[in-house]
């Protein structure tokens, strides 16, 4: 049971998003896990919404903590303009005409063997000191970070145990972010918002100007840099359990959770373009 919103932290209902903003959106940036997905799967409604957004002329970019291997697939196979992966470590943009993948890394040092060994040692400490955690199943496909699973393929841990993970990572001096399923950590000065800005710079215009016609949709604490950096932000309903832990809140919140919340937001932008089809979410 997700608790009610605290009185001090109440984003506006999604239905109050002004029509002028709905009509002016060019780029829609979205988290994946528990934003596009529900119950660990991508439902047909979300996938259809991605196609409908693309058909309406809205460029969708996935912004995720998921690994490089997944992001290559998503950039190629989904109707998206690009993917920001591993919490901002890189941007993947697939040119469908030339059939060429463009990969933009936050740093030339990403994935260095000594760095990977240091991160692995920190992960081992977390597993020793916080029972019930595990290395994320998608770790073999990562190039920049490590992910500690506290909810995806293990029995979900309470947030107090997640706090223990964060305490250890803070002591180790690494950067980290909490998603709805993992705690990701890395060395290096990058985050999701930096990845977004790199993507927009590659689009050939001033990122600050382009952000004015962009919106971000997310669901968890690792989306906080985006809630802080975007002028227009939305959260799906399941963010409620994290709101008291956020300094930067989303501007609007959907009544529905996870994929249903994403679809509700997508429908607003599609309808505002006059492109809502029968059967869309």
Same domain assignment for residues 182 and 249: no
Question: Residue 97: CB partners within 8 Å, gap ≥ 6?
Answer: none
Tokens 């903003």 found at: 21
Report how many domains make up the chain: 2
Question: Residue 266: CB partners within 8 Å, gap ≥ 6?
Answer: 28, 49, 50, 52, 53, 280, 281
Same domain assignment for residues 245 and 201: yes
Would 180 be classed as within a structural domain?
yes
Q: What is the pLDDT of residue 278?
A: 40
Would 280 be classed as within a structural domain?
no
Would 279 be classed as within a structural domain?
no
CATH code: domain of residue 96: 3.40.50.1000
Kind plus residue range of the DSSP H or E element containing 185:
strand 182-186
Q: Which domain holds residue 147?
A: 113-186
The radius of gyration computed from the CA coordinates of the chain, to the nearest angstrom, equals 18
Same domain assignment for residues 99 and 208: yes
Q: What is the dihedral of CA 225, 85, 74, 159, to 10 degrees?
A: -60
Q: What is the pLDDT of residue 2?
A: 40
Q: What is the pLDDT of residue 119?
A: 97
Same domain assignment for residues 28 and 94: yes
Same domain assignment for residues 98 and 197: yes
Separation of alpha carbons 271 and 1, rounded Å: 32
Q: What is the pLDDT of residue 33?
A: 96
Q: What is the pLDDT of residue 5?
A: 43
Q: What is the dihedral of CA 111, 107, 138, 127, to 10 degrees?
A: 70
Same domain assignment for residues 195 and 182: no
Same domain assignment for residues 25 and 150: no
Instruction: Name the domain boundary from 186, 206, 232.
Output: 186
Separation of alpha carbons 233 and 28, rounded Å: 10
User: H-type helices in the chain, by residue range?
Assistant: 19-24, 44-55, 68-77, 113-129, 159-172, 192-202, 207-211, 224-229, 258-272
Three-state DSSP class for residue 41: strand
Same domain assignment for residues 24 and 100: yes
Same domain assignment for residues 133 and 59: no
- Structural contact between residues 38 and 252, judged by C-beta atoms closer than 8 angstroms: no
Each of the 281 residues of the chain gets a pLDDT tens digit; together they read 344 444 455 799 999 999 999 999 999 999 999 999 999 999 999 999 999 999 999 999 999 999 999 999 999 999 999 999 999 999 999 999 999 999 999 877 787 889 999 999 999 999 999 999 999 999 999 999 999 999 999 999 999 999 999 999 999 999 999 999 999 999 988 999 999 999 999 988 799 999 999 999 999 999 999 999 999 999 999 999 999 989 999 999 999 999 999 999 999 999 998 865 544 55
- Record the pTM: 0.91
Same domain assignment for residues 141 and 238: no
Three-state DSSP class for residue 102: strand
Question: Residue 153: CB partners within 8 Å, gap ≥ 6?
Answer: 134, 136, 137
Quick one: CA dihedral 117, 120, 124, 129, positive or negative?
A: positive
């Amino acid at each position: 049971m997700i608790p009610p919103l605290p009185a001090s932290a109440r984003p506006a209902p999604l239905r109050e998003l002004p029509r002028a903003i709905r009509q002016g959106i060019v780029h829609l940036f979205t988290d994946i896990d528990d934003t596009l997905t529900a119950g660990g799967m991508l439902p047909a409604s979300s996938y259809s919404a991605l196609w409908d957004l693309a058909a309406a002329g809205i460029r969708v970019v996935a912004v995720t903590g998921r690994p490089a291997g997944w992001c290559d697939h998503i950039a190629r196979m989904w109707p998206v303009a690009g993917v920001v992966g591993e919490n901002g470590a890189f941007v993947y943009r697939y040119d469908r005409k030339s059939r060429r993948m463009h990969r933009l890394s936050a740093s030339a040092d990403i994935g260095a063997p000594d760095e990977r060994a240091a991160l692995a040692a920190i992960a081992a400490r977390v597993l020793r000191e916080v029972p019930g955690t595990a290395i994320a199943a998608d770790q073999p496909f990562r190039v920049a970070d490590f992910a500690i699973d506290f909810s995806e393929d293990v029995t979900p841990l309470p947030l107090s145990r997640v706090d223990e993970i964060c305490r250890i990572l803070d002591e180790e001096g690494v950067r980290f972010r909490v998603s709805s399923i993992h705690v990701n950590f890395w060395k290096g000065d990058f985050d999701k918002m930096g990845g977004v800005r790199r993507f927009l710079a590659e689009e050939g215009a001033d990122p600050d100007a382009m952000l004015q016609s962009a919106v971000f949709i997310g669901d968890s604490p690792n989306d906080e840099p985006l809630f802080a950096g975007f002028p227009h932000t939305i959260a799906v309903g399941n963010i409620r359990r994290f709101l008291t832990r956020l300094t930067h809140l989303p501007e609007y919140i959907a009544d529905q959770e996870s994929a249903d919340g994403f679809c509700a937001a997508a429908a607003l932008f599609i309808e505002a373009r006059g492109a809502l089809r029968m059967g869309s979410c």
